[in-house]
Structure 1
């Protein structure tokens, strides 16, 4: 009924329903990009933030921007990734949540805070995305930002941690599925390339694979790429 305040139980049920819908959306996301986009959009709806973003470790073990809801978040991230210092970098390295209540008064990263404050960001909350207990299990961080000082309450921080757990598992699963899909694709390409060699040079499968492998090693090219070039050009690399 209008005008009737929500009880703690009502809020809990609403949050549970929201996370249930998020879990389904993350499960249905076709890839990592779609997964992190769903995470940041949920953050805007469920938390006291105006902007949100996700940075993920790349295969080169360097954090990269994966999703932002506003260009200002990309600026906040770039300031840290270029200098390798700031709350986001610390959250990644130390697997710890970093809350800045006001960028104009926090003195832990003064140069970064001054630049971020000039962008209009006053409160920040960085929560690591981790799937286990080891340092290698950290997959990234979700950053939440507000132009209002002291915007994030204890409830916001608790919800952010729940969101981070959902996001961590979803990102890890999406990456695993993408890796498996790439492996299946690579096997198909190598099989097609082997077929071309077997037909052209009248060799068996073992010999055809050995030829591809030799060219891969001699040219320092991935086996998949050698196979793709043979399929596209009907020629082996020089």
Structure 2
């Protein structure tokens, strides 16, 4: 289903984004969330390929791409540190390349992308109150493929994606925190049973080993559970 605001009834856009909201709500984790966004972009926008790059621990990663070529374009920019994705991520600004054959801002990047058959590029930041969390990248094999309507819809999609990614990350962090507490509790139980310690003393030992070995408390607990020994 292709959507064009100037040609389709407004109900079509409402239905399309309602469908996206349901898909994002039902997505299991960040990976499925960004994959749903990339696939939805193919339906809603005039793009032949799409992808999402996320900021992970201060560096961009590529969790979703509708074609290996998109991942190749992303990886090239990340390695070289130049290109619209890098600039959009740094400046939290949308960047449009109408034709890679005539693009002069990033000549090496443009030559690379042109060699892959891509002529038009639209990079839209995924932004939250905390800053830019990623980039939605849209690509077309035709020059000057993205209209003002496409850019407007891309911004709406990016807003949906930003909220969905932030929510998925928060849920994953909470799940990891719960798992860590369970592991630490199991490790404390082992120490308490084996050495006749109370809970406070068992936790203090785990914490000391974590600090002395510069190892996360969760990993110290996991090793104790797996090997019945504390890290050396």
Matches within 5 A, 1:64-83: 64-83=61-80
How many residues are aligned here? 229
**Cα shift at 1:64:** 1.0
For residues 201-226 of structure 1, the C-alpha deviation after alignment (integer angstroms, 9 at most, x for no partner) is 00100000001011111111100000
Matched, 1:90 2:75: no
Q: 1:159 and 1:7 mapped to 2: Cα distance?
A: 8
Q: Which runs of 4+ in 1 moved over 3 A?
A: 6-10
The alignment status of 1:143 with 2:141, answered yes or no, reads no
**In structure 2, the residue corresponding to 1:128 is in which secondary structure?**
strand
- Residue of structure 2 in register with 1:162 after alignment: 156
Contact 2:124/2:158 (8 A) holds in 1: yes
Partner of 2:22: 24
TM-score between the two structures when normalised by the length of structure 1:
0.94
Seen in structure 2, the aligned counterparts of structure 1 residues 142 and 187 have a Cα distance that, compared at 3 Å, is: same
* TM-score (ref. length: structure 2): 0.96
* CA displacement at 1:27 relative to structure 2: 1.0
Determine which of 5, 8, 11 is the counterpart of 2:9: 11
Counterpart pick for 1:117 among 102, 114, 118:
114
Give me the whole-angstrom Cα distance separating, in 1, the residues matched to 2:112 and 2:96: 17
User: Unaligned regions of 5+ residues in structure 1, if any?
Assistant: 1-5
Q: Within the alignment, does 1:233 sit opposite 2:227 as a pair?
A: yes
Counterpart secondary structure, 2:61: strand
In 2, the alpha carbon distance for the partners of 1:137 and 1:75 equals 25
RMSD (CA atoms): 1.3
Counterpart of 1:63?
60
* Residues 5-26 of structure 1: CA deviation (Å, up to 9, x unaligned): x995853110111101101110
Distance 1:102 1:11 in 2: 30
Q: CA deviation at 1:179?
A: 0.3
Judged with a 3 Å threshold, the aligned counterparts in structure 2 of structure 1 residues 156 and 39 are, in CA distance, closer, same or farther, namely: same
Query: Which residue of structure 2 lines up, in the alignment, with residue 41 of structure 1?
Result: 39
Q: Establish whether residue 181 from structure 1 lines up as the match of residue 175 from structure 2.
A: yes
- Cα 1:15–1:104 change in 2 (3 A) is same
